[in-house]
A and B are shown apart, each in its own frame.
Chain A
Amino acid sequence: MSHYSVWSVLREGLRGQTGWERAWRDPEPKPEYDVVIIGGGGHGLATAYYLAKNHGITNVAVVEKGWLGGGNTGRNTTIVRSNYSQPSSTQFYEHSLKLWENLSHDLNYNVMFSQRGQLGLFHNPAGRDAAAKRANTMMACGIEASLLSRDEVMNMVPHLDYSENARFPILGAMLQKRAGTARHDAVAWGFARGADNYGVDILQQTEVTGILREGGMVTGVETTKGTIRAKKVGVAVAGSTGHVMRMAGIDRLPIESHKLQAFVSEPLKPLLDCVIGYGAPGAHFYISQSDKGGMVFGGDLDFYNSYAQRGNLPIVQDVAECAMAILPCLGRVKLLRHWAGIMDMSMDGTHIMTKTPVDKLYLNAGWCYGGFKATPASGWHFADLIANDRPDNLTAAFSLDRFERGLTIDEKGMGPTPKLH
């Protein structure tokens, strides 16, 4: 693999861009690997990368039924933050944020991580209390957070709706300065190139059709390109978790599949230099502006179980209303595209990273709205779980048996109703 640098850009500029190599190989599957990862999204590729980098396990295959990052990695609103109100979650996402901060250098691939800051608006005294509690939890975990007054928000983003008759009057906001956005495709590609450089085989257009087991232990996978034997198998297929785990005889999980839409507008001149989000009864919205100028935004789930990767119109209207409620200047902007990804909505709104009842089969699932920002830490800790066959301190809380033991991590206090998390 050739190293990307300013010199390689200059050299190729002089050579008419003729010397660039493929970023990763397209190998045929070997008959056996030490570890097979099912799912070539950000999480699966990051897992393969950290298995090789942190644990020296390079005889690894990532098996992907479509193309890299074609699932939720390419279907999100690219926001990265670590402002959660449950300590185990905020610490996990903080580790992720720290990895994001050096990811472009680590991968030698520009993931365009931009720490432009995220404002979480609040609109009533209860919202202020919740924001203060969240900021306090973060600070207790050593993560910087601040509460801004209405005037400070006005200084920072003058074009929100601060009028007398605003639908959601803005009382202030919680700011996480280190939050931001990243280029989603580049994350998948960067991890793929990094993993491939260590010798990991990335097998695209290879669908897993069965998970092989002998005596309660996993022994490999059946794929559309033949049988691949493996000493260990990791599943990172959020959205299709139930479908894939059924192949291993695990029929029931604390997860429902729901679809979440995202939207991008036509490109605009620079309009918004931070990420803004808000949640109020009946409204949920988050928006940022991409480097190409498109306004990238999203809102709530479609609110019914679905595996269809396409959105429904009532939510388009809901999200448009949410946008107009805080950024009325968007009223004449045209929508360019909208799409939907399938979320693993877990029963407590928090992800699952665990060993399973099948020996040497590991599960990484249940990311709800939070999968993209988790990508590096998810790969880091899932690789650790697979390599050492035990959860580390940061992941022990995200076990599959936490529900039965009454140790749910319910960020919003919604109870076991996946669509509400």
Chain B
Amino acid sequence: MIRIKCPFCGIRDHSEFSYGGDATVEYPPLDASTEAWNEAVYQRANPRGPHREYWHHLNGCRSWLIVERDTLTHEVGTVEFAHPGLSEALK
């Protein structure tokens, strides 16, 4: 079991969360070229090692989180809210 330290709920088993994929993807503006959209929608770095990724605390506080996790060892690094203003608002 991977354990993720949700900044709102504390340390929880990963079975409370739903995986949301690569968090480094930046979507281009709607009128961007097909090439730019192909990059964002389909192409992934898929690293063997540290990976920045979304997790949704679905069966908890329902926050979207950005988690740094090693895809080879499953070691979890930093965990932060995906919404940039949320940490500040909760202080």
Interface residues of A (CB under 8 A from B): 240, 242-243, 251-257, 303-308, 312-314, 347, 403-404, 416-417, 419
Contacts and interface: CB of A to CB of B under 8 A. Distances in A.
Contacts, number: 75
A243 B48 contact: yes
B21 to A, nearest CB: 7
B71 A416 contact: no
A305 B72 contact: no
20 contacts: A242-B44, A242-B46, A252-B39, A252-B45, A255-B46, A256-B22, A256-B46, A257-B46, A303-B18, A304-B2, A307-B48, A307-B72, A308-B73, A308-B74, A314-B13, A314-B14, A314-B15, A403-B41, A403-B42, A417-B21
Contacts of A419: 19, 21
B52 to A, nearest CB: 11
Interface string B61-84: 000000001011110000000000
B53 A305 contact: yes
A350 B52 CA distance: 25
A305 B71 contact: yes
A71 B48 CA distance: 16
Contacts of A303: 18-19
B53 to A, nearest CB: 7
B29 interface: no
Interface of B: 1-2, 13-15, 18-19, 21-22, 34-35, 38-39, 41-48, 51, 53, 69, 71-74
A314 B74 CA distance: 15
Given A242-B48, A253-B43, 8 more contacts: A242-B46, A303-B18, A304-B53, A307-B72, A312-B1, A403-B41, A403-B43, A404-B34
Contacts of A307: 48, 71-72
Contacts of B13: 314
B41 A416 contact: yes
Nearest to B43: A252
A417 B41 CA distance: 9
A281 to B, nearest CB: 15
Contacts of A242: 44-48
Contact of A306 (B34, B38, B42, B71): B71
Given A242-B48, A252-B45, A416-B42, A304 B1 contact: no
Nearest to A304: B19
A408 B87 CA distance: 39
Contacts of B71: 257, 305-308
A62 B75 CA distance: 34
A280 to B, nearest CB: 19
Contacts of B2: 304, 312
Contacts of A257: 46, 48, 71
B1 A314 contact: yes
Nearest to B35: A404
Contacts of B19: 303-305, 419
B31 to A, nearest CB: 17
Contacts of B72: 306-308
Contacts of A416: 41-42
B38 A403 contact: yes
Nearest to A301: B19
B71 to A, nearest CB: 5
A347 B39 CA distance: 12
B38 A251 contact: no
A251 B44 CA distance: 8
A254 B37 CA distance: 13
Most B CB contacts (10 A, CB to CB) among A242, A305, A404 go to: A305
A306 B43 contact: no
Contacts of A252: 39, 43-46
A254 B42 contact: yes
Nearest to B55: A304
Contacts of B15: 314
A257 B14 CA distance: 18
Contact of B44 (A253, A304, A306): A253
B1 A253 contact: no
A313 B42 CA distance: 30
B1 A313 contact: yes
B38 A404 contact: yes
A347 B46 CA distance: 12
Contacts of A251: 45
A403 B45 CA distance: 16
A419 B44 CA distance: 13
Contacts of B1: 312-314
A223 B83 CA distance: 45
